[in-house]
Structure formats: structure tokens, C-alpha cells
């Protein structure tokens, strides 16, 4: 019997925001973001349920620094629901930057969940928008299919992957982050360290893809 983690029929692989704008040359490129693609392609073949998320912002989105006078990318503002980092324009609806990265090969993915499409609120998590009130519907989708464990991969580890993993736990699912199938932005205030601390506090398991028993 293999010693690795067994993939179960009640598992979902959640592939987060592997889009052109988060890869080299994109509007908000995550360092080495494209390197996750072959790992994810290999992983996905072992999962019955694969879900993709796609950042899908309108022009003038609240999270864009360009939407705020005298603000620069990576400045912060305070909103009713908390602090908001201001980003370079990225993943604008119906632009090449918002498209899934062309090397991503997961033809059996059943769902593409678009998030961040409301102009006045950001949405890091695949489960809840940043107000922590408005659901995306993903929790219900998983429950209706009897799925209980979510394994996460994609971009960026310290933002959309992190908040999706946290909300998966809060919604009653077991969350596992596949770290080598993710890359991080790691902002100056230590966002990657904060993500790992959060994973530890919420008992979110972090593994490497080599620790999974993949179907040959």
C-alpha cells in the first residue's frame, strides 16, 4: 500500500486563478507563476472533480489603484469590511489577461467559477467575497455532489489560495494546500508568512504534490 495521501471520490481539486495576468508578462504577474502549470496538469488527471476559478473584474474595479486618485499599486485603503490592497489593473473581463493560461490542460474540469465581477467589492476567496457575507455558491455546489475535501493549487498562494482554503474550512470542508502547485506574491508586509501562520492556526494541511498517490 502506498504511503502517500490517497485521492478520494469525495475530493475536489480547486485550481485558483491560473490566468495570463498572473503569469510572466501579465498585469499582476506572480513570480514564476507559470511553473505551476505542468504540476497542475499532472495532478488534475487523478481527480474526478476539478474546479477552476477565474478573476473576472470590470473596468474601474474598486481594487485597482487606477480607480483611486493619488494611489499607487500596493497602497492600501480602508473599506467597511476591512483593508483593501490596491492592485495593478488585471484580469479585466473579456481581455487576454483574464483568459486561462494557454498551457493549462484540464479538459475534464466541470466548473469555471468567476469571481471579483462586482465593481465595488473584491473577491479573493472562491467561497465568499471579501465582505465575508456574500457567497459565490461554491459551497453549495460541493455539498450537492457529496464532496467533503478540497485540495487547492494555483495563484497566488498568499491571497486567493489562502482565502479559499480558509473559507473552505469555515464552510465545513477539509482543506489541503498543494504548495509546489502554488506560487506566492509575498508582499513587503509578509503575506506569505501570514498565510502559513493562518494554515497552522486553522489546521489546514500543506503538502507537496509528491505526497499524493496519483493515478498512473
Q: Which of 21, 91, 115, 171 is catalytic?
A: 115
Asked about 3 being catalytic, the answer comes back as no
Catalytic, 17? Answer yes
- How far apart, in whole angstroms, are the C-alpha atoms of residue 55 and residue 125? 10
Which of 11, 17, 89, 167 is the catalytic position? 17
* Contact (Cβ atoms closer than 8 angstroms) between residue 174 and residue 148: yes
Catalytic residue selected from 160, 169, 171, 182: 160
Residue 183: strand pairing partners: 155
Sequence-ordered list of residues with C-beta below 8 angstroms from that of 142, at least 6 positions apart, any chain: 12, 148, 150, 173
Query: Is 23 a residue of the active site?
Result: no
User: Is residue 181 a contact partner of residue 36, using CB atoms and an 8 Å limit?
Assistant: yes
Read off the C-alpha cell for 61.
474595479
Catalytic residues: 17, 115, 160
Amino acid at each position: 500500500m502506498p504511503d502517500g495521501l490517497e485521492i478520494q471520490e469525495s475530493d475536489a481539486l480547486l485550481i485558483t486563478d491560473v490566468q495570463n495576468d498572473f503569469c510572466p508578462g501579465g498585469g499582476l504577474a506572480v513570480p514564476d507563476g507559470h511553473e505551476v502549470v505542468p504540476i497542475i496538469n499532472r495532478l488534475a488527471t487523478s481527480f474526478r472533480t476539478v474546479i477552476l476559478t477565474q478573476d473576472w473584474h470590470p473596468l474601474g474595479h474598486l481594487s485597482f489603484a487606477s480607480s483611486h486618485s493619488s494611489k499607487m499599486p500596493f497602497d492600501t485603503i480602508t473599506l467597511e469590511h476591512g483593508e483593501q490592497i490596491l492592485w495593478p489593473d488585471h484580469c479585466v473581463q473579456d481581455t487576454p489577461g483574464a483568459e486561462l493560461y494557454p498551457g493549462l490542460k484540464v479538459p475534464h474540469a466541470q466548473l469555471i467559477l468567476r469571481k471579483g465581477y462586482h465593481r465595488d467589492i473584491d473577491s479573493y476567496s472562491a467561497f465568499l467575497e471579501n465582505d465575508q457575507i456574500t457567497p459565490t455558491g461554491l459551497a453549495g455546489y460541493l455539498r450537492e455532489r457529496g464532496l467533503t475535501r478540497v485540495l487547492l493549487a494555483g495563484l497566488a498562494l498568499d491571497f486567493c489560495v489562502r482565502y479559499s482554503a480558509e473559507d473552505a474550512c469555515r464552510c465545513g470542508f477539509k482543506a489541503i494546500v498543494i504548495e509546489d502547485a502554488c506560487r506566492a506574491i509575498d508582499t513587503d508586509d509578509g503575506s506569505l508568512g501570514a498565510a502559513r501562520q493562518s494554515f497552522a492556526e486553522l489546521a489546514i494541511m500543506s503538502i507537496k504534490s509528491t505526497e499524493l498517490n496519483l493515478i498512473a
